[in-house]
Structure 1
Amino acid sequence: MAKHDPKEPPPPYYSVDVHTQPPLKSYEEVVYGVGPGLTPPNQPRYIPQYPPPVVVHQVTQPGISPSGKRKRCCESNAQCYGGSGGALLLLALLALAIWLGVRYGTRLATAAILYNEDNDDRTEEPLPSFDTCPNNTVQCDGIVECQLGSDESNCVRFGEGYSLQVRTSEDGRFLPVCYEGWDEKYAKQTCTQLGFSNSFVTKAVKSKGQSIGLTLTSRSSSLIQGAVNVSSSCPSRETVSLQCENCGQQQSTSRIIGGSIAETGQWPWQLSLHYRGSHVCGAVLISPDFAVSAAHCFPSKALASSTRFWKVYAGVVSQDNLPEPYLVKKIFLNENYDSRTNDQDVALLRLKSPVVINEKIQPVCLPTSGQQFLPGYTCWTTGFGTTEAGSGTASKDLMEVSVKLIDTQVCNSPPVYGGAVTNNMICAGDLDGGKDSCQGDSGGPLVCQGDNRWHLVGITSWGAGCGEKNKPGVYTKVSSVLPWIYSKMQKVK
């Protein structure tokens, strides 16, 4: 199996097909990086299945050359191949790609985007862009001044024990909110501000160490940061603990360590993300209205805009027994996602209707500020991905495997990934090999248990091979992208 060159960008876990639907029309696939005037890639690629469109639009893949430059299949926006000659060449390239995948197999896949131009279904809402703000904008003063509200979108977080922490323009630090005067209405207001539909539980907790806090002043502001003032101390030294969702609970807890089929209710936040009738990636339920996945599951903005073709299945442990799907209203791609390095590989999905919570379906808990799971801690990753490198078909059953967190310094050492792991990533697996996620697992969860609840620590992102020695899985570190997640949830409530 080809190895990952540390000088090159890291390979992403691209998706694979489970049940490819018969094409409605004739369609073409293009293996990017292989074509007229382009040399074959120095690592084989899988072909992710996005069935069954008609016209191929120009899309680039993460760079694979030492220079990091991307290669394109076309030099213009015209269709790449036409006529019988193009079809024959295309078939030859496709056969070559399949042979390479079977022969060598790695988690790295070609971003072959199949897109139906005749049904170019764009979402009515434009994809998010960078915000514009007045020069005198004040952060966290409770007054929205920026066009997209970014000045007020990162002013609330949760600390240890779900301690509510708010940043105001008066101080600039995240400070605890005093419990005096707090009630259920404030709790719902704060959770709604963050994009949740309601609050789950709120209570008073004794403040630890820090005496300074934020006292409630009025209900005139719809944003909690505009309804508090800095105080030298909290009455009775009590502060607010707030949990917006009942999360991270399992209905089934029996499991076998080392990779096995998951039971119903065991990982109730695991979602299966389908495009045009096929599983292409995993996703993770974080509230009845929202799910997170990997940005690389949507290799083009056009693909992310075509929400009508995306469906989400919840409570699924077998692709042969799918319930009614949930439709996707909007897909947010992290503006800071770097497809060359896979840094900040995260996407947020807003569902058209809330998921019905039951014993099979429940959101996972998002990490709290300062929460730490140290190297060596045993966590779990799940997904419908392939069970062995080189396979072109994903598992029909939801698979689970226990993995240990790996120190980033170790993961960045020359024998492993040689500096390709950024501060926004976390490694997990076994350096001796054998336990790992694989293609089709992208966007799925890496969860760790703390305080009797399961927390989303990572989102399956990339890696070299599957279960190879010194090639563990690399995951998007959720704590690093949490402000971005909350900011998007807040904007679309």
Structure 2
Amino acid sequence: MTSFPNVYENYLPEHVQPPSNRNTQEEYPPPYPSAGGDYPPPYSSVGAGQYPPYPYPSTASAQYQPYYIPAQGPTHPPTQITQRNVPHQKPARSCSPQRKTYCCVISLFLTLSALGIGAYVILRFVKDSPTGSSSSHCQAVVTRCNGISECADNSDELGCVRFSGTSSQLEVYGWQDKRWLPVCYTAWSPSLADKTCKQLGYRSSYQTQGTTGQPSSSLVVNTTKQITNIQSVLSNSLQCTTKETVSLKCIDCGKRIKTSGRIVGGVPALLGKWPWQVSLHYKSRHVCGGTIISEDWVVTAGHCFFEDEAFDPSKWKVYSGFISQRQLSGATLRYVSKITSHRSYSSDTNDYDIALMKLQKPLEFTAQVRPACLPTYNQEFPHGMACWITGFGRTKEGATSTSDILLEATVNIIGSGTCNRRRIYNGAVTQRMICAGKLSGGVDSCQGDSGGPLVCEVSGTWYLAGVTSWGHGCARINRPGVYAQVTQLSNWMFSQMEANSN
């Protein structure tokens, strides 16, 4: 961190450094826009098209560390077939003047027919979807979240559960009403709480109780049904008989040991103060940060997987419960079994910059190793709110190495309206991003902090508000850090954890 630099732009893995015999100023653009000018162009990034596949040539001595603004994004689906890349495709015949009317009528008929058939297939395929997603492994007619798996990969029954409000109210997508509904506390039980949390990829439930409310419509537990997932035992109801709905927490999170004093701006952190912080090592070198969210899962940034080989779980190590890279022998080490990155991630816009890593062996929680809480889907972190960032990134823009010790700094949430102003990020901040920092500069994330946490304390509990993503330079004036906004991506996270719970 630069006195907490921008975790972003300089976020290229530390393993990629310019060889000493090259004039990097001339041969390669800097890892962030130049300081000149009043504002960056829309969606400015160090993404595809601006840099070579890796910012600098690979050498035996080169260190590797992903840029805050990624140099290369995750692997994309195969190239879409177009006329230009289909071999031996003949050009289409054009209508002669004599057959113009006939051709146009036939062309119009075929076009309308194709559109009609396409619309019909889409509507039948993605019926009642809370997320608008579909799968090629599904039947022709699919009803999402009705408790019956109609897709070979079970994708129609993923993403059907979420949490709402300060009480962590359980909500399930009601396939009949086609909207999210609370669950009545009547007939609810600890076993159903455990089943729901295990469905979402947790090991059990932590706390469940009734919370007072008067929903206009709700879901009730049908005890006569056999449970395969929580939605399979729920039925619609106009109201709850006891006027209580289910509050559910799947994990004891967001707590830490007591420490005295608040240290501002890029200073060493105390052991156990940020127990959810991890260091992700790629090929035995720190590359990115991450955040513990359960015994089995760590969340980080999608741009940390900057090359195809980086999606190989065997290349990674996850260290937690420590504050010095020079004392890894005392850290908790875990290997990775699976990596999943958001398929909508774009290295051009830095949108959907999030990924999950599943650990081969679950973590044992201690005072030094604990999870941060995922916020509920509608939880807000308002403009001006004081939050914290942590990481092992560089201590200033242009530094040649990352920090050996864990650094911390306090930053303020900056509303998207402000962050998207012409003189700041000029509309580049999407709904899936949140800004934090100081417009006066001096405090920010930097290269090597990518994927790490932006956490905010609410009523004594620490929530993961953002995942370090991108920025222009480190700690520059009017260039705050930009983070993946967890509230907008938690449903994707739960879906991935559920899909890979076994």
TM-score, normalisation: structure 2: 0.76
SS in 2 for 1:140: coil
Over 3 Å counting, the alpha-carbon distance change for 1:366 and 1:211 in structure 2 is: same
Cα deviation for residue 435 of structure 1 reads 0.9
Unaligned runs of 5+ in 1: 1-9, 21-27, 47-61, 75-88, 99-105, 114-128
Q: Could you list the per-position Cα deviations for residues 447-473 of structure 1 after superposition, in whole angstroms to 9, with x for gaps in the alignment?
A: 111132111110000111111100100
Q: In the alignment, what sits opposite 1:187?
A: 193
Does the Cα contact within 8 Å between 1:29 and 1:112 map onto a contact in 2?
no
Q: In the alignment, what sits opposite 1:155?
A: 160
1:362-381 to structure 2, matched below 5 A, reads 362-381=370-389
- Partner residue of 1:360 out of 357, 362, 368: 368
Distance in 2 between residues matched to 1:140 and 1:112, nearest whole Å: 32
Cα deviation for residue 238 of structure 1 reads 1.0
Q: In the alignment, what sits opposite 2:266?
A: 259
- What's the % identity of the aligned pairs? 40
1:65-464 to structure 2, matched below 5 A, reads 69=49, 110=71, 132-160=137-165, 161-207=167-213, 209-218=214-223, 219-254=225-260, 255-304=262-311, 306-322=312-328, 323-464=331-472
Distance in 2 between residues matched to 1:477 and 1:73, nearest whole Å: 27
Cα deviation for residue 225 of structure 1 reads 1.0
Does the Cα contact within 8 Å between 1:262 and 1:398 map onto a contact in 2?
yes
Distance in 2 between residues matched to 1:395 and 1:337, nearest whole Å: 28
Cα deviation for residue 213 of structure 1 reads 1.6
Cα-Cα RMSD: 3.1
Distance in 2 between residues matched to 1:388 and 1:30, nearest whole Å: 17
Distance in 1 between residues matched to 2:8 and 2:371, nearest whole Å: 29
Distance in 2 between residues matched to 1:454 and 1:111, nearest whole Å: 32
Cα deviation for residue 42 of structure 1 reads 3.9
Q: In the alignment, what sits opposite 2:496?
A: 488
Q: In the alignment, what sits opposite 2:30?
A: 43
Distance in 2 between residues matched to 1:334 and 1:346, nearest whole Å: 6
Distance in 2 between residues matched to 1:267 and 1:354, nearest whole Å: 19
Q: Could you list the per-position Cα deviations for residues 189-226 of structure 1 after superposition, in whole angstroms to 9, with x for gaps in the alignment?
A: 0001111111111111111x424221100351311111
Q: Could you list the per-position Cα deviations for residues 242-296 of structure 1 after superposition, in whole angstroms to 9, with x for gaps in the alignment?
A: 1000000011343212332111111111011011211110010000000100010
Over 3 Å counting, the alpha-carbon distance change for 1:468 and 1:131 in structure 2 is: farther
- Partner residue of 1:469 out of 456, 477, 491: 477
Does the Cα contact within 8 Å between 2:193 and 2:248 map onto a contact in 1?
yes
Instruction: Kindly provide the amino acid, as one letter, of the partner of residue 296 in structure 2.
Output: D
Does the Cα contact within 8 Å between 1:140 and 1:152 map onto a contact in 2?
yes
Cα deviation for residue 492 of structure 1 reads 0.8
Instruction: Kindly provide the amino acid, as one letter, of the partner of residue 43 in structure 1.
Output: P
Instruction: Kindly provide the amino acid, as one letter, of the partner of residue 374 in structure 2.
Output: L
Distance in 2 between residues matched to 1:409 and 1:147, nearest whole Å: 43
Distance in 2 between residues matched to 1:12 and 1:434, nearest whole Å: 15
Higher relative contact order (CA 8 A, sep 6+): 2
Distance in 2 between residues matched to 1:393 and 1:137, nearest whole Å: 52
Instruction: Kindly provide the amino acid, as one letter, of the partner of residue 30 in structure 2.
Output: Q
Cα deviation for residue 302 of structure 1 reads 2.7
SS in 2 for 1:437: coil
Instruction: Tell me how many residue pairs correspond in the alignment.
Output: 414
Larger Rg: 2
Q: Could you list the per-position Cα deviations for residues 3-54 of structure 1 after superposition, in whole angstroms to 9, with x for gaps in the alignment?
A: xxxxxxx97442444xx8xxxxxxx9999xx99xxx94443479xxxxxxxx
Distance in 1 between residues matched to 2:233 and 2:50, nearest whole Å: 49
Q: In the alignment, what sits opposite 2:106?
A: none
Cα deviation for residue 70 of structure 1 reads 5.9
Moved more, 439-448 or 411-420: 411-420
Distance in 1 between residues matched to 2:57 and 2:183, nearest whole Å: 62
Cα deviation for residue 147 of structure 1 reads 2.9
Q: In the alignment, what sits opposite 2:121?
A: none
SS in 1 for 2:491: helix
Structure 1 runs (4+) greater than 6 angstroms displaced: 28-31
SS in 2 for 1:222: coil
Instruction: Kindly provide the amino acid, as one letter, of the partner of residue 159 in structure 1.
Output: S
Over 3 Å counting, the alpha-carbon distance change for 1:149 and 1:40 in structure 2 is: farther
Distance in 2 between residues matched to 1:337 and 1:311, nearest whole Å: 23
Instruction: Kindly provide the amino acid, as one letter, of the partner of residue 135 in structure 1.
Output: A
